Amino acid sequence: MYKYIREKRVKVNGKKAVQNLRLNEGDVVDFYIRDEFFEKESDTSFTRLNPNLNVVFEDENILLVDKRPGVIVHSDDKETNGTLIDKIKAYLYKKGEYNPDEERSFVPSLCNRIDRNTGGIVICAKNAEALRCVNDLIKNNEVSKKYLALVHGTFNNKEGHIKNFLLKDSNTNTVKVYEKPTPNALTAESYYTVLKTDVSRNLSLVEVRLVTGRTHQIRAQFSHMGHPLVGDGKYGINKNDKKMGYKFQALYSYKLVFLPKEKDNLLYYLKGREFKVNEVFFEDEIH
């Protein structure tokens, strides 16, 4: 849907819409959407997939999966098969927990997304109530997500707070960073801690905690600071990084903590639980 907004396929009162537009009573919203956008009920091709998932945690309500870099979460114009959600459906299908021929009210759904070339924990809701509750937790900042990033350069301060404004350029699929409020730019806020430093190679391993979750937030903010991520060709120069074997940006959503405040939230029983991936491919790059 965000892509269609960028492509001007969503209009309000005959004019192109922007992502942060607030609707008013009486507004007319038109959608110009390709048929391929709508999932065909008869499409059960995912049942033939080999799921091969890295499951971090699972119960009757949610499934936490460690998505590897290079895997796309949802289908797009270029790739329609073998997505993460397809593999999750196949996994639940083979377990007997999801049958597309019988289910008419709910399909397993992802609650967050991670860029194709970034790895990390993705939350999948296994029922409608869990989906609503996870979405509420994310909306209210009651899910703490931490990332590991391998970046160029060393830091004077071992801890820091980043707050600036990101403006997305749909033509280049990048974001620009501004230090002051800018029309249509969204506030982006992060905290970071330097875990390791290799002075001889001019590299640092950094843990980042997101307050907001904007597009390319970590990649853009650290590049703006003069510390582009290793392997990031979009916000840095990765010619030498490729020689080191980095096909993707060294960024991983490796840790997640549920912090629900309301006891009536279905997932309150997970309060304080920390979930972490088993391995991050660049974590031991700096000894």
What pLDDT does residue 125 have? 97
What pLDDT does residue 117 have? 92
Give the angle subtended at the CA of 213 by the CAs of 209 and 217, to the nearest 5°. Answer: 80
Any idea what DSSP says for residue 102? Answer: T
Going residue by residue through the chain, which has 287 residues, state the pLDDT in tens, using 9 for 90 and above. Answer: 777 888 888 999 999 888 888 999 999 999 888 766 665 555 677 888 888 899 999 999 999 999 999 999 987 655 556 799 999 999 999 999 998 877 566 889 999 989 899 999 999 999 999 999 999 999 999 999 999 999 999 999 999 999 999 999 988 889 999 999 999 999 999 999 999 999 999 999 999 999 998 999 999 999 999 999 999 999 998 888 988 889 899 999 999 999 999 999 999 999 999 999 999 999 998 87
Any idea what DSSP says for residue 228? Answer: P
Strands 251-258 and 119-125, how do they pair? parallel
Q: Which amino acid is at 41?
A: E
Q: How many CA atoms lie within 13 A of 135 on its CB side?
A: 11
Whether residue 21 contacts residue 11, with contact meaning beta carbons closer than 8 Å, is answered with: no
- Residues 6+ positions from 215 with CB-CB distance below 8 Å: 166, 168, 175
Give the angle subtended at the CA of 114 by the CAs of 110 and 119, to the nearest 5°. Answer: 115
Among candidates 170, 182, 158, 164, which has minimal Cα distance to 220?
Answer: 164
What is the value of pTM for the model shown?
A: 0.82
Where in the sequence numbering do the catalytic residues fall? 115
Q: In the chain, count of helices (H) and strands (E)?
A: 5, 14
What pLDDT does residue 79 have? 53
Cα torsion through 52, 54, 57, 59, rounded to 10: -10
Strand-pair partners of 57 = 64
Domains and CATH numbers, the chain: 1-38 (no CATH), 45-139 (3.30.2350.10), 145-258 (3.30.2350.10)
Rounded distance between C-alpha atoms, residue 60 and residue 52, angstroms: 20
Q: What tokens appear for 66 in the block?
A: 């460690």
Whether residue 229 contacts residue 150, with contact meaning beta carbons closer than 8 Å, is answered with: yes
What pLDDT does residue 271 have? 97
**Computed from CA positions of residues 129, 133, 139, 144, in that sequence, does the dihedral angle turn out positive or negative?**
negative
- Residues 6+ positions from 194 with CB-CB distance below 8 Å: 155, 157, 158, 159, 204, 205, 206
Strand-pair partners of 202 = none
What are the DSSP E strand ranges found in the chain? Answer: 10-12, 15-16, 29-31, 55-58, 62-67, 109-110, 119-125, 143-152, 159-169, 174-178, 186-198, 203-210, 251-258, 274-276
Rounded distance between C-alpha atoms, residue 123 and residue 135, angstroms: 10
What pLDDT does residue 44 have? 75
The residue whose two tokens read 């490729």 is: 242
Among candidates 78, 99, 87, 95, which has minimal Cα distance to 46?
Answer: 87
Any idea what DSSP says for residue 265? Answer: S
What pLDDT does residue 32 have? 87
Model confidence pLDDT, tens digit, residues 39-61: 555 567 788 888 889 999 999 99
What pLDDT does residue 37 have? 65
